[in-house]
A = this chain, B = another copy of it.
């Protein structure tokens, strides 16, 4: 950890803004679809069943078939546009529940029961690259040609037995950018004063690059009591330690003490918390927020909250309910305030935020530089040009 702290006073210079899109307002920044996104939990897609999801309004059906394994295709029948997810999984494909057209795992139409010799082309639908890991189902909703080269998110702690993992799964009625800002700005612990007591946040510095920003914090307690859940997650010695004198605390914080590092690396966000002297984080959190609807005013979070197991076996398992209670309380307050932010944006019609904190200014830049313009006139799925042509020539 120590080398990171040294870098704080010399942040990476911000490179010139990429001309990725001309996004006038952060809340109108669409999430770039050319990444691997977790769109469901593994347990949501039962064997032999279909599960409907949407990514930025695009309907996608996840299918777990015996013959073809897990696959993802557009959730609409090429015939009458009803969702395939209400149909029948059959022989490595899915059959529409209305007139029985069948599509395989590549989206090709392979059977129309009442049509024996017709050319089934171009009745196909789009398919999506799809992978399963960490108990999550990842889909690549953008240009499938890029799926192989775009890095798949690595989260070692989620597969490390030294950690116990809580999978986060929650839907919040706001643009995903509010989520990044919420977590990145640790000054918002004021929001959680009832659950966490009075915490003083120390901003230690930031580093950044074209598609990322990373911020270090330390904390000291000004008052109130640490909850049991927090104590289990990050230990008693860290943020919990009461330091009444602020300057002493700042000196401490900058030296060697507990450190929290929050990083938005587009489109993901991570939070790591190291207690003083440890070389592995006590808490290692990975989050992804994706837009559910076309207007991108609703987001779904899937996250992996990895908590280092204490030396005493089963202690964490016994204390798990306290962790659940504490984190749910925090999440509910965040959901409440982020939905109020979205409501204010909807009423004001444009982003009026008056941001003065450098860390948040950077995260905003990362989101607008790397996002794409939401196209409000865009309707329907991101079909390839051939599909669109076929549809209109039909």
A positions within 8 Å CB-CB of B: 57, 59, 76, 78-83, 86, 97-100, 112-115, 118, 123, 185, 187-188, 190-191, 201, 203, 294, 337, 340-341, 344-345, 347-350, 352-357, 379-380, 391, 394
Contact = CB atoms under 8 A, between A and B. Distances in A.
A347 B394 contact: no
What 3 A-B pairs have minimum CB-CB distances, sorted nearest first? A81-B344, A349-B379, A100-B190
Contacts of A97: 190-191, 337
Contact of A201 (B114, B188, B190, B349): B114
A59 B347 CA distance: 10
Contact of A187 (B114, B379, B391): B114
Nearest to A392: B352
Given A57-B347, A190-B113, A380 B394 contact: no
Contacts of A190: 97-100, 113
A190 B111 CA distance: 13
B99 A187 contact: yes
23 contacts: A76-B344, A79-B356, A80-B344, A81-B344, A81-B348, A81-B353, A82-B340, A83-B344, A86-B340, A97-B190, A98-B188, A98-B191, A99-B185, A99-B188, A99-B191, A112-B356, A114-B201, A115-B357, A123-B354, A348-B379, A349-B379, A352-B380, A352-B391
A102 B220 CA distance: 22
Given A113-B187, A380-B347, A340 B83 contact: yes
A337 B82 contact: yes
Contacts of A118: 356
A203 B114 CA distance: 9
Contacts of A81: 341, 344-345, 348, 352-353
Copies in the complex: 3
Given A114-B187, A114-B357, A356-B115, A379 B79 contact: no
Nearest to A334: B98
Contacts of A80: 341, 344, 353, 355
A188 B99 CA distance: 4
Given A79-B353, A97-B191, A97-B337, 19 more contacts: A79-B354, A80-B344, A81-B341, A82-B341, A97-B190, A98-B190, A98-B191, A98-B337, A99-B188, A100-B190, A113-B187, A114-B187, A114-B203, A114-B357, A115-B356, A349-B379, A352-B391, A354-B394, A355-B394
Contacts of A294: 347
Contacts of A187: 99-100, 113-114
A271 to B, nearest CB: 18
Candidate in A80, A82, A191 with the most chain B CB atoms within 10 angstroms: A80
A142 B93 CA distance: 49
A118 B354 CA distance: 13
A150 to B, nearest CB: 27
A355 B113 contact: no
B379 A344 contact: no
A354 B201 contact: no
Candidate in A115, A185, A355, A356 with the most chain B CB atoms within 10 angstroms: A356
A98 B348 CA distance: 19
Contacts of A79: 353-356
A242 to B, nearest CB: 18
Contacts of A355: 79-80, 394
A115 B316 CA distance: 38
Candidate in A113, A123, A347, A357 with the most chain B CB atoms within 10 angstroms: A347
Candidate in A81, A97, A118, A379 with the most chain B CB atoms within 10 angstroms: A81
